[in-house]
Amino acid sequence: MAVIYGIDWSVAVKLRNLLGLSAVLVFVGLAQIIWRNHEPFWDRSLMLEIHQHQAAWLDTVMKGITLTGSGYCVDLVAFGVAMWLWWKGQGHKLQAFILLITVVGLRIGNGWLKQLFERPRPEVFPPLTTAGGYSFPSGHTMNAMAFYGLVAVWLWRTHYRGWAIVAGAWVVMVAISRVYLGVHYPSDVIGAIAFGAIWIVVVTTGQDMWQKRNNEGKD
């Protein structure tokens, strides 16, 4: 049986399919609500609950965290990591390509989705930072999914489970920071995570199929 990153191919496919299906259901469910110009009943209440914990020191922390999900930061780091992977040799060139495809693909997808849904930014409380454009889905959160989310998958597969959890948790922190700062509804960041997961499933499927074919060719 073929093995990908130490995981049986059949097991990897089942886990990936389960994640992909769950992400599709979450995103489609939220998209239907927002498309009808409605809000999930928990959106404002959860946003206000997070806002109750506002403090000056936490404002600074959240602004720092949200910066790591900005397009400039993610593009710079992702490009640097991609160049490093490419420099490491043939065995890592596919990873460099997958990383760039993930980042660029989600950036394009986010712009298209924002224009499609045209959801206004929240006005639940005065925002603590500036943000332009539409609200759904969160661009910063999708940027975080594109880089930290993909890296989390790679780290988990190579058995660096602790670091994988850190990378995955960082995506959640970026998402929370956007809600805390008042520039996104919770449904914006959840939708962004779901759509990002769908895209990561797509690109890692291609990566796995390529790796499987290479492994079979060596047998």
Residue 147 lies in a domain: yes
Q: Is the peptide bond before 137 cis (omega within 30 degrees of 0)?
A: yes
Q: What was the pLDDT predicted at 207?
A: 78
Cα separation, 99 vs 101, whole angstroms: 5
pLDDT, one tens digit per residue, over 130-185 is 888 999 999 999 999 999 999 999 898 887 889 999 999 999 999 999 999 999 99
Residue 40 lies in a domain: no
Residue 150 sits at φ, ψ, to 5 deg, of: -65, -45
Residue 9 lies in a domain: yes
CB 129, CB 181: distance < 8 Å = yes
Residue 119 scores a pLDDT above 80: yes
Residue 41 lies in a domain: no
Query: Average model confidence (pLDDT) for the chain?
Result: 88
| Local confidence band at 3 (pLDDT 50, 70, 90 cut-offs) | very low
Residue 210 scores a pLDDT above 80: no
Give the percent of the chain with pLDDT over 70.
89
Q: What was the pLDDT predicted at 88?
A: 82
Q: Which residues of 29-53 are buried (b: 16+ CB within 10 A; e: fewer)?
A: ebbebbeeeeebeebeeebeebbee
Cα–Cα separations (whole angstroms), residue 140 to 44, 88, 92, 151, 184: 20, 29, 27, 16, 10
| Local confidence band at 2 (pLDDT 50, 70, 90 cut-offs) | very low
Mean pLDDT of 108-112: 95
How many other CB atoms are found less than 10 A from the CB of residue 87? 10
How many other CB atoms are found less than 10 A from the CB of residue 104? 13
Residue 168 lies in a domain: yes
Residue 1 scores a pLDDT above 50: no
Q: Which range of residues forms the domain containing residue 139? A: 3-35+46-218
Q: How many CA atoms lie within 13 A of 129 on its CB side?
A: 19
Query: Smallest Cα–Cα separation from 185: which of 176, 194, 193?
Result: 176
Residue 58 scores a pLDDT above 90: yes
Cα separation, 59 vs 115, whole angstroms: 29
Residue 5 scores a pLDDT above 60: no
Cα torsion 128, 46, 198, 157: sign? positive
| Local confidence band at 216 (pLDDT 50, 70, 90 cut-offs) | low
Q: How many domains does the chain have?
A: 1
Q: What was the pLDDT predicted at 158?
A: 82
